[in-house]
Structure 1
Amino acid sequence: MSENHMFDIEEHKNDLGKVEISPEVIEVIAGIAASEVEGVTSLRGGFATGVAERLGKKNHGKGIKVELGENGVTIDVSVFILYGMSVPEVAKNIQENIEHTLKTMTSVALESINIHVVGIQFETHEEDVQLQES
C-alpha cells in the first residue's frame, strides 16, 4: 500500500501514469457483488451506517472490510442470509461473485475472501401479508 492508502495496479502502469484504487472503492464493489447473490438479505453495518441509511444515504461498502496483505487483498464480508438457504452454498456464491467482479473491474490480486454469516433473516410479516393478498 502506498503512503495515501491506495492500491497500485501494477499491470496498468504505462507512459501516461499509474492507476491507484482506494480501498473504499473495493469495499463498494465487493458490497454490491455480495448483495447480488441469491439468499443474501443484507450486509452488516455499524451504528453510523444504520443512521446514515435511515437518512437516505445508501452505503454499499457496509459489512465489508478490506486489508492489503503481502500476497494481495483480503476481504471480510459480514452477511445476513435468508432462512432456508444453504449457508455453505450462499457463502461460496458470494466469494465467487466478488472474485469475478473485482477481477473484471479492478484486476486487484486477491489473497482471500472470508465470509462471516452474522445472522439469519426470517421472512417478515409484511412479506407474508403481501403474498396472501396476491
Structure 2
Amino acid sequence: MNGSIQITEAALASLIGLTAHEIPGVVGMAPSNLKEGLSRVLGRANVSDGVVISRDGGRYAADLYVVVAYGVSIPTVARNIVERVEHTVKTQAGIELAAARVHAVGVQRV
C-alpha cells in the first residue's frame, strides 16, 4: 500500500465523544470552556465539544468533560469511560492514547 491514512483530531474527538455516550450513566458532554459554570449539556450532535485532544510526547491524550446521571457511582462511570475509550480508539483508529482523563463537571437527573 503506497498511501497513508491520517485521522484528524476532530475525527478522533468525535469517535471519543460517541464512545463516551455509550456508557451507562453518562447524560451528555459539557463544553470544556465555560467560564460561568455548566450552562448547557450537549447531546450526541455536538459530542466532540466535550472532548479536548492534546499531544503528549508525540502521542494523543484526551480530556472528556461529562455530565453523569444522578445516583450513579461517578468513579465507576469514569473508569468505564476510560476503558471503553482506550479500547475503541485502539481498535477503530489504530491509536493508543497516552492518557484519557474524565472530568465529571455535572450531575443531572434523567
TM bucket (normalised to shorter chain) is: 0.7 to 0.9
1:38 aligns with 2:24: yes
What does residue range 62-81 of structure 1 map to in structure 2 within 5 Å? Answer: 62-81=49-68
What root-mean-square deviation, in Å, do the aligned CA atoms of Structure 1 and Structure 2 show? 2.2
Aligned twin of 1:89: 76
Q: Tell me the distance in 2 between the aligned counterparts of 1:31 and 1:17.
A: 28
Higher relative contact order (CA 8 A, sep 6+): 2
Q: TM-score, normalised by structure 1?
A: 0.70
Deviations 1:91-133 (A, max 9, x none): 000001111110111111210000000000023xxxxxxxxxx
1:122 aligns with 2:74: no
Q: TM-score, normalised by structure 2?
A: 0.84
Q: Tell me the distance in 2 between the aligned counterparts of 1:116 and 1:122.
A: 18
Aligned twin of 2:10: 24
Q: What stretches of structure 1 of length at least 5 have no aligned partner?
A: 1-14, 124-134
C-alpha deviation, 1:71, in angstroms:
5.0
- Give the percent of matched residue pairs that are identical in Structure 1 and Structure 2: 29
Q: What stretches of structure 2 of length at least 5 have no aligned partner?
A: none
